[in-house]
């Protein structure tokens, strides 16, 4: 297999983007990535697009071709493939692009993600997201996505010493980082009180424990590492790409509070990259809910099970902590345009490794990790990226 590098990365601002349609979002992110790699469109060999549910959000399917067309590549007839794994669609699109280049099948490949979520009413978007769980045996009986993660939180708090304040600190920390990220949906700092006084969504989770509904797109370009310097002075090497699956329902998991797919993909990624936890300078984890970040940092092995609340409250996951988590602001503050999230995580790590992360820059960042979850843990993609 060939070594693979990221040679370009682009991302739209995230938010409720009333003036941009699905196509405009994607074209903007793609153009930024191409510009970043100083690459012209005709050099692209293939595209993989992460998108969860354009069918329900904008009633459009056949996203691969649509995007190739609006990227001005229809007459180039390149393969363009949509990848869907709910909230992990972006992470899997990136992995497919890496596999395509590593295998030698393609050279210059775009991995992108896009979601336009605000064209439907909130009730409809909540219902669409429930499709990431088991529609027949969870959604049908009244489960919502926040409801499922709330049941993880309830189980976790019953078994481990996690306080409501420690859980809120996840959102407080991610808003602090988001306030230092110019593409973030929310660039305001909040306090623990903001979280504790927000509307109850599904007990014990409140509004500020939940990631928002977001429009946005992100794109990265991957190429063989030995060609990377044709396009950039700062290629970022893909040290590991790992993916794992688990039961679609939460109730069938071995342990409600452990995402075994995170454990499996994380272990494999560390093994492939030949690095240890101490080598990771920062990690973007899938904090769709505050409890999800607590589980993620434990399941990836950054602290022991049951200790993530204290670890977070002690500032170990903050900028300057032992392992800064979600320097972008995470899904909570940067926003969560579902299919784009996995690519945005890679984008953020690339910014950090190139020393381009501005006010949220981690000093001497050399190796970073991304962790993207589909559903309540039925799909997980973990990537490790490093400076060359």
Partner 1 sequence: MIGTKCETCQKHFFPPRTFCPDCRRSGRIVSHKFAGFGTIVTYTVIHTANEQFEAFTPYVLAIVKLDEGPRMTAQIVCKPDEVKIGLRVKSVFRRIATDGESGIIHYGTKFVLAE
Question: Which residues are part of the catalytic machinery?
Answer: 87, 336
Per-residue interface string for the shown chain with partner 1, residues 127-146, x marking contact by CB under 8 A: x--x-----xxxxxxxxx-x
Confirm or reject binding of residue 260 to partner 1 (CB under 8 A).
Answer: no
Quote the least distance from Cβ 31 to partner 1, whole Å: 36
Are the CB atoms for 228 and 38 separated by under 8 Å? no
Number of H helices, E strands in the chain: 13, 11
**CA 308, CA 292: separation in Å to the nearest integer?**
11
Count, residues near partner 1 per rule CB under 8 A? 35
Would you count residue 246 as binding partner 1 (CB under 8 A)?
Answer: no
**Is 330 a residue that touches partner 1 (CB under 8 A)?**
no
Decide if residue 377 touches partner 1 (CB under 8 A): no
Cβ partners under 8 Å of residue 180, min gap 6: 319, 329, 358, 359, 360
Q: Kindly report the CA angle at 258 between 255 and 260, in degrees rounded to 5?
A: 90
Q: Which two tokens stand for residue 308?
A: 């993530």
CA 6 to chain centre: 16
Interface with partner 1, residue 150, by CB under 8 A: yes
Closer Cβ to partner 1, 123 or 320, answer by number? 123
Q: How far apart are CA 51 and CA 63, in angstroms?
A: 8
- Residue of 151, 162, 213, 244 that binds partner 1 (CB under 8 A): 151
Q: Is 367 in the site for partner 1 (CB under 8 A)?
A: no
Residue pair 93/83 in contact (Cβ under 8 Å)? The answer is yes
State how far the Cα of 75 lies from the Cα of 283, in Å rounded to an integer.
39
Using the minimum distance from each CB to partner 1, give the nearer residue, 204 or 321: 204
The two beta strands, 367-374 and 282-284, are parallel
CB atoms within 10 A of CB 23: 18
Residue 158 sits in the site that holds partner 1 (CB under 8 A): yes
Out of 42, 203, 226, 356, name the contact with partner 1 by CB under 8 A: 203
Are the C-beta atoms of residues 329 and 372 closer than 8 Å to each other?
A: no
**Does residue 201 belong to the site contacting partner 1 (CB under 8 A)?**
yes
The mark string for 89-128 relative to partner 1 (x by CB under 8 A, - otherwise) is: ----------------------------------xx-xx-
200 near partner 1, judged by CB under 8 A: yes
Q: Is 81 in the site for partner 1 (CB under 8 A)?
A: no
Q: 121 or 363: whose CB is closer to partner 1?
A: 121
Nearer to partner 1, 60 or 144 (CB): 144
- 17 in Cβ contact with 119 (< 8 Å): no
User: Contact residues for partner 1 (CB under 8 A)?
Assistant: 123-124, 126-127, 130, 136-144, 146-147, 150-155, 158, 199-205, 249-252, 256
């Amino acid at each position: 297999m060939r070594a693979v590098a990221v040679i370009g990365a682009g991302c739209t601002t995230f938010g409720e983007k009333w003036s941009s349609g699905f196509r405009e979002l994607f074209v903007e992110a793609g153009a930024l990535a191409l510009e970043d790699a100083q690459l012209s469109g005709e050099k692209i060999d293939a595209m993989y697009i992460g998108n969860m549910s354009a069918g329900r959000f904008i009633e459009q399917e056949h996203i691969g071709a649509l995007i190739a067309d609006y990227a001005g590549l229809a007459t180039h007839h390149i393969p363009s493939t949509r990848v869907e794994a709910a909230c992990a669609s972006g992470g899997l699109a990136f992995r497919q692009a890496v596999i395509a280049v590593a295998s030698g099948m393609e050279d210059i490949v775009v991995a992108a993600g896009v979601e336009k979520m605000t064209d439907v009413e909130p009730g409809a978007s909540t219902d669409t997201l429930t499709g990431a769980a088991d529609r027949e045996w969870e959604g049908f009986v009244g489960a919502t996505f926040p409801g499922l993660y709330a049941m993880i939180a309830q189980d976790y708090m019953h078994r481990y010493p996690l306080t409501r304040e420690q859980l809120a600190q996840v959102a407080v920390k991610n808003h602090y980082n988001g306030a230092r990220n110019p593409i973030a949906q929310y660039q305001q700092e909040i306090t623990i009180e903001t979280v504790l006084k927000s509307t109850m969504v599904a007990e014990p989770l409140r509004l500020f424990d939940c990631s928002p509904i977001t429009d946005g797109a992100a794109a990265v370009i991957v190429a063989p590492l030995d060609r990377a310097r044709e396009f950039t002075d700062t290629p970022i090497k893909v040290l590991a790409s790992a993916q794992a699956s688990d039961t679609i329902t939460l109730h069938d998991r071995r342990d409600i509070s452990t995402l075994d797919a995170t454990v499996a993909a994380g272990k494999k990624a560390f093994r492939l990259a030949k690095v240890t936890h101490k080598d990771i300078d920062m990690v973007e984890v899938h904090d769709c809910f505050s409890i999800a970040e607590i589980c993620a940092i434990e399941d990836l092995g950054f602290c022991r099970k049951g200790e993530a609340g204290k670890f977070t409250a002690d500032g170990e996951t903050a900028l300057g902590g032992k392992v800064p988590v979600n320097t972008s602001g995470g899904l909570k503050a940067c926003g969560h345009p579902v299919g784009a999230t996995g690519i945005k995580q890679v984008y953020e790590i690339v910014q950090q490794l190139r020393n381009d992360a501005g006010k949220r820059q981690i000093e001497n960042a050399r190796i970073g990790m991304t962790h993207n979850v589909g559903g309540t843990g039925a799909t997980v993609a973990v990537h490790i990226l490093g400076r060359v």
